[in-house]
C-alpha cells in the first residue's frame, strides 16, 4: 500500500505549520517595479514590501507577459464613459481601473430581433421587471439600481454573436446543449449578482433561475430540441446533471417547468392519446427505489390542497399518459432529483438524467391519509451508462470508509491537509500511486506573509463583505460587485478577481475568500487509461463552482530557465484558446499583474493531477489577494457529472518564449490541436 507513496511523502495529519514541508526558494533577482500612476497603489507598496514585478493593472507589461482571457470578450462594447457609479469608485482610488458598468453595455439601438423586457412580458400585465422593483426601493436610488432587463439585453446581444444554427431548434447536439446550459447559468448568475447588490426586500423571494429561464425561453432561436419526442434527446447524455428545472426545459429533456410528468399526444388512427415521455423523481412523493434500476413513481395530483382537503388522484393528464405508456410500452426518460451534497443550502438539488426506462406495472394505493394514489413501476433499460446507481455507490463510499470499493490505494492522500479527504484510486492497472511529492493545499510564496506590509486597500468588514456595501474596498476593486454567490460560485468572468487577503479584517468564511476556503467537492486522484493520473469528483459540480487552486512553489523565472521542462509547471503567462464566445462584462482593463509560474513538482495539491484537454470542463482564473499575492483558482466551465475527469487547457506559450517539449494530446476532442506543453 505504501510503495508508491512512502509514509514520509505525506505531511503528518494535523500539522499546522505547512511551511515545514516547504522547500523555500527565495526570489532575489526580480527587480521591483511599481505603479507609476499617481496616488492609489503607489502609496501602499514600498519597494521593500514586494519582491515581485508590479505593473499597473492597465499595463504596460514586461516582455513575455500578456493578458489572459479565458473567454472571448466582445470588443466593441468597451469604454463607455456614461457610468452611474464611476464617480464613487474613482473617488475611492484613482489607480483602480474603472469598471465597465453593465449599463454601458446597453444597446438601445439594437432592437432588431426581439429584445426582451418590453414586448411580451410587460404587455401581459406582469410588468414587474424593472418598474416595479424601482418603486419598491422608493426614492432611495441604490448605487446598483440596475435594470435587469438591460442586463439581459446586453447578454443576449452577445449571445446573438454565436454561430447558432437554426436546425438545432428541433434537433440539438452535444455542443448546442452544452453551450445553452452554460449561457443560461451565466445569465442566471449575472442576474443574481445584480439582485444581490440591491437591498433585500423582506418577504420577497428572488428567483434568478426563473428570470433567466423566462428570458431564454421567450427568446427565439435559443432553445434546442423543441419538438417533443419519445426516447433519447440529442445532445443529452445519460449521466448528465442539471441544477435547475429550467435547464431541462431549455434543452428539451423535460418540458414542464414544475410538473413531474411530461407527455405528448400520439396519433393512433383517428384518435390521439397521450404518452409519457419523461418524468422527474424528486423524492417529495413517496417514490421508492429498490435497487437503483427500478423506480416506483407516484402519479400527480391529489396532494394536500390549500383548503386542507385531500383528494384522490385522477386518471388524467400525466397519470393517464403513464397508463397509456404502460400499455404502449414506450420508453420514458427518467430524471432523478437528489440532494446537492456539496451545497451548504440543504434544499439545493441536482437532477441526474438516468436514461430510458419502461413502465412495467401500475396500481392504485391508499396513502397515509387514505386517498388513492397511482403507482407506476419503471425498469431501467439495459446497456446504458451508469448514472443514478453510480450516485448511489458514491453515497455508500462516503458513508462506509470506501473499503468496499476496489482499487482504493489511499482513502485520503492529503492526510487531512484539506478539509475534505481526497481518495487515491487505481482500478486499471497495478501502479501503486504517483511519484513522490509533498502535499500542501496552497501556493507557497518564497517570502513569509508577515513580512509584507498590509495593504491600505484591505477591508474591515467584520461580518464578511457584502455586495451592497459600496464602501468596502474589496467590493470596489471587483467593479462594485461581489464576485461569488453564497455557494462559492463565480458570478461573472473577469480577467482578474480581487479577493480579501491576510490584512483584511473579514472572517475566513467571507464570501470574498472563496478560493481560500478549501475544497468543497469530494475529489479523487485516479489512474486514467492512457494519460497517467487524473482528477475527478464524486460530487456533481455546478457551472462556475470553485474547485481548487493550483498549489506549488512560486518559481523565479528570471533565474530558472523558464522552468518549462518541469511537467508540473503552471505558467500563468500562457494564453488559452478561448473556450467559448462569452458575453462580456469582463473588464478589459484588468490584467494579470505580474508573471506567475508555479512548480508543483516537489509539492502541491490535487490541481497538479489535472490533465490537459482541448475541450476542457475547467478553467483557471487569476485571483489577487491583498494586491500582492496572485493565485490561480480553478472553476467549472459547465456542470460536471460525478466521476467525469476534470481537465483544463494548459494553454500556449507566448510567441518569442522558448517552447517546452510538446506532448501528444490524448484528449480526443473534435477540436484537439494535437499537442500540449
Residue among 599, 596, 597 at smallest CA distance from 568: 599
Q: Rank residues 136 and 671 by Cβ distance to DNA and give the closer one.
A: 136
Q: Rank residues 85 and 263 by Cβ distance to DNA and give the closer one.
A: 263
Q: What is the DSSP secondary structure assignment for residue 582, as one 8-state letter? A: -
Q: Rank residues 150 and 551 by Cβ distance to DNA and give the closer one.
A: 150
Q: CB of 374: closest distance to DNA in angstroms?
A: 10
Burial class (CB in 10 A: 0-12, 13-18, 19+), 397: buried
Q: Which helix (H) or strand (E) holds 630?
A: strand 629-636
Q: Rank residues 146 and 607 by Cβ distance to DNA and give the closer one.
A: 146
Grid coordinates given for 453: 506590509
What is the Cα–Cα distance from 372 to 167, expressed in whole angstroms?
Answer: 45
What is the Cα–Cα distance from 342 to 350, expressed in whole angstroms?
Answer: 10
Q: Rank residues 262 and 580 by Cβ distance to DNA and give the closer one.
A: 262
171 CB-near residues (< 8 Å, 6+ apart): 224, 225, 227, 234
Q: CB of 207: closest distance to DNA in angstroms?
A: 5
CA contacts within 13 A on the Cβ side of 63: 5
Phi, psi (rounded to 5 degrees) for 140: -65, 105
Residue among 47, 271, 192, 226 at smallest CA distance from 483: 192
Grid coordinates given for 665: 494530446
Q: Rank residues 55 and 321 by Cβ distance to DNA and give the closer one.
A: 321
Residue among 449, 447, 448, 444 at smallest CA distance from 604: 444
What is the Cα–Cα distance from 534 to 442, expressed in whole angstroms?
Answer: 19
Q: CB of 154: closest distance to DNA in angstroms?
A: 19
Q: Rank residues 9 and 214 by Cβ distance to DNA and give the closer one.
A: 214
Strands (E), 304-454: 331-339, 349-366, 372-380, 408-410, 423-425, 438-439, 443-444
Q: Rank residues 250 and 610 by Cβ distance to DNA and give the closer one.
A: 250
Q: CB of 522: closest distance to DNA in angstroms?
A: 16
What is the Cα–Cα distance from 36 to 43, expressed in whole angstroms?
Answer: 11
What is the Cα–Cα distance from 573 to 472, expressed in whole angstroms?
Answer: 30
Cα→Cα distances 180→195, 368, 657, Å: 22, 42, 37
Q: CB of 158: closest distance to DNA in angstroms?
A: 21
How many C-beta atoms lie closer than 10 Å to residue 31's C-beta? 9
Q: Rank residues 73 and 545 by Cβ distance to DNA and give the closer one.
A: 545
Q: CB of 216: closest distance to DNA in angstroms?
A: 8
Q: Rank residues 252 and 563 by Cβ distance to DNA and give the closer one.
A: 252
Q: Is 408 left (phi over 0), alpha (psi -120 to 50) or beta?
A: beta
Q: Rank residues 103 and 122 by Cβ distance to DNA and give the closer one.
A: 122
What is the Cα–Cα distance from 652 to 62, expressed in whole angstroms?
Answer: 18
Q: CB of 52: closest distance to DNA in angstroms?
A: 37
Q: CB of 246: closest distance to DNA in angstroms?
A: 7
- In 145-160, which positions are buried (b, 16+ CB within 10 angstroms) versus exposed (e)? bbbbbbbbbbbbbbbb
**Integer-rounded Cα radius of gyration of the chain:** 27
581: three-class secondary structure by DSSP:
strand
Q: CB of 550: closest distance to DNA in angstroms?
A: 29
- In 419-441, which positions are buried (b, 16+ CB within 10 angstroms) versus exposed (e)? eebbbbbbeeeeeebbeebbbbb
Is 542 within 8 Å of 636 (Cβ atoms)?
Answer: yes
Q: Rank residues 256 and 454 by Cβ distance to DNA and give the closer one.
A: 256
Cα→Cα distances 271→229, 266, 268, 318, 324, Å: 18, 8, 5, 18, 13
Cα→Cα distances 55→91, 228, 448, 556, 592, Å: 21, 55, 22, 17, 9
Q: CB of 542: closest distance to DNA in angstroms?
A: 11
Q: CB of 537: closest distance to DNA in angstroms?
A: 21
What is the Cα–Cα distance from 611 to 568, expressed in whole angstroms?
Answer: 10
Q: Rank residues 274 and 480 by Cβ distance to DNA and give the closer one.
A: 274
Q: Rank residues 283 and 407 by Cβ distance to DNA and give the closer one.
A: 283
Q: CB of 148: closest distance to DNA in angstroms?
A: 11
Q: Rank residues 343 and 573 by Cβ distance to DNA and give the closer one.
A: 343
Q: CB of 16: closest distance to DNA in angstroms?
A: 23
Q: CB of 135: closest distance to DNA in angstroms?
A: 14
Q: CB of 348: closest distance to DNA in angstroms?
A: 6
Judged by the rule CB under 7 A, the positions of this chain that interact with DNA are 126, 128, 200, 202-211, 213-214, 217-218, 228, 244-246, 249, 255-265, 274, 280-285, 287, 297-298, 300-301, 303, 317, 337, 345-349
Amino acid at each position: 500500500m505504501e510503495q508508491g507513496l512512502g509514509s514520509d511523502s505525506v505531511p503528518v495529519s494535523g500539522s499546522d505549520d505547512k511551511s515545514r514541508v516547504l522547500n523555500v526558494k527565495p526570489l532575489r533577482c526580480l527587480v521591483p517595479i511599481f505603479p507609476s500612476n499617481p496616488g492609489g497603489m503607489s502609496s501602499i507598496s514600498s519597494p521593500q514590501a514586494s519582491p515581485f514585478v508590479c505593473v499597473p493593472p492597465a499595463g504596460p507589461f514586461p516582455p513575455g507577459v500578456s493578458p489572459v482571457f479565458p473567454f472571448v470578450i466582445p470588443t466593441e462594447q468597451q469604454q463607455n464613459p456614461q457610468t452611474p457609479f464611476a464617480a464613487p469608485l474613482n473617488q475611492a482610488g484613482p489607480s483602480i481601473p474603472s469598471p465597465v458598468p453593465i449599463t454601458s453595455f446597453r444597446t438601445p439601438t439594437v432592437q432588431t430581433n426581439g429584445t426582451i423586457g418590453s414586448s411580451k412580458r410587460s404587455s401581459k400585465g406582469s410588468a414587474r421587471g424593472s418598474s416595479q422593483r424601482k418603486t419598491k426601493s422608493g426614492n432611495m436610488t441604490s448605487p446598483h439600481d440596475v435594470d435587469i432587463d438591460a442586463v439581459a439585453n446586453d447578454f443576449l446581444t452577445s449571445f446573438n454573436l454565436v454561430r447558432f444554427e437554426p436546425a438545432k431548434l428541433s434537433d440539438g447536439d452535444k455542443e448546442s446543449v452544452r453551450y445553452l446550459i452554460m449561457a443560461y447559468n451565466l445569465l442566471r448568475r449575472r442576474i443574481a449578482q445584480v439582485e444581490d447588490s440591491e437591498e433585500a426586500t423582506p418577504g420577497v423571494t428572488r428567483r434568478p433561475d426563473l428570470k433567466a429561464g423566462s428570458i431564454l425561453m421567450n427568446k427565439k432561436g435559443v432553445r434546442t430540441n423543441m419538438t417533443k419526442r419519445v426516447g433519447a434527446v440529442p445532445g443529452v447524455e445519460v449521466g448528465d446533471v442539471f441544477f435547475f428545472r429550467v435547464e431541462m426545459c431549455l434543452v428539451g429533456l423535460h418540458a414542464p417547468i414544475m410538473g413531474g410528468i411530461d407527455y405528448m399526444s400520439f396519433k393512433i388512427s383517428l384518435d390521439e392519446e397521450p404518452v409519457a415521455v419523461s418524468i422527474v423523481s424528486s423524492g417529495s412523493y413517496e417514490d421508492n427505489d429498490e435497487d437503483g434500476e427500478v423506480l416506483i413513481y407516484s402519479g400527480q395530483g391529489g396532494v394536500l390542497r390549500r383548503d386542507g382537503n385531500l383528494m384522490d388522484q385522477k386518471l388524467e393528464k400525466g397519470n393517464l399518459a403513464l397508463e397509456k405508456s404502460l400499455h404502449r410500452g414506450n420508453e420514458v426518460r427518467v430524471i432523478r432529483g437528489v440532494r446537492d451534497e456539496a451545497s451548504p443550502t440543504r434544499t439545493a438539488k441536482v437532477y441526474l438524467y438516468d436514461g430510458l426506462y419502461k413502465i412495467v406495472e401500475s396500481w392504485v394505493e391508499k396513502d397515509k391519509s387514505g386517498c388513492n394514489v397511482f403507482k407506476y413501476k419503471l425498469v431501467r433499460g439495459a446497456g446504458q451508462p451508469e448514472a443514478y446507481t453510480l450516485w448511489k455507490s458514491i453515497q455508500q463510499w462516503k458513508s462506509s470508509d470506501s473499503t468496499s470499493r476496489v482499487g482504493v490505494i489511499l482513502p485520503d492522500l492529503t492526510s487531512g491537509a484539506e478539509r475534505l479527504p481526497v481518495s487515491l484510486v487505481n482500478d486499471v492497472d497495478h501502479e501503486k500511486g504517483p511519484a513522490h511529492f509533498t502535499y500542501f493545499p496552497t501556493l507557497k510564496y518564497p517570502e513569509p506573509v508577515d513580512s509584507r506590509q498590509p495593504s491600505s486597500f484591505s477591508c474591515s468588514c467584520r461580518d464578511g463583505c457584502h455586495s451592497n456595501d459600496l464602501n468596502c474596498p474589496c467590493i470596489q476593486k471587483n467593479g462594485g460587485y461581489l464576485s461569488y454567490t453564497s455557494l462559492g460560485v463565480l458570478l461573472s468572468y473577469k480577467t482578474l478577481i480581487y479577493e480579501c487577503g491576510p490584512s483584511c479584517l473579514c472572517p475566513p468564511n467571507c464570501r470574498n475568500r472563496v478560493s481560500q476556503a478549501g475544497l468543497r467537492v469530494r475529489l479523487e486522484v485516479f489512474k486514467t487509461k492512457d494519460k497517467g493520473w487524473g482528477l475527478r469528483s464524486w460530487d456533481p459540480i455546478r457551472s462556475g463552482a470553485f474547485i481548487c487552486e493550483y498549489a506549488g512553489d512560486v518559481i523565479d523565472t528570471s533565474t530558472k530557465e523558464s522552468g518549462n521542462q518541469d511537467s508540473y509547471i503552471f505558467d500563468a503567462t500562457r494564453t488559452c484558446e478561448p473556450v467559448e464566445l462569452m458575453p462580456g462584462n469582463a473588464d478589459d482593463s484588468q490584467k494579470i499583474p505580474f508573471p506567475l509560474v508555479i512548480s508543483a513538482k516537489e509539492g502541491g495539491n490535487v490541481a497538479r493531477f489535472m490533465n490537459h484537454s482541448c475541450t476542457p470542463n475547467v478553467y483557471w482564473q487569476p485571483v489577487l489577494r491583498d494586491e500582492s499575492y496572485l493565485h490561480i483558482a480553478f472553476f467549472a466551465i459547465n456542470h460536471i457529472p460525478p466521476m467525469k475527469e476534470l481537465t483544463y487547457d494548459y494553454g500556449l506559450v507566448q510567441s518569442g518564449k522558448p517552447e517546452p517539449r510538446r506532448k501528444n494530446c490524448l484528449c480526443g476532442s473534435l477540436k484537439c490541436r494535437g499537442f500540449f506543453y
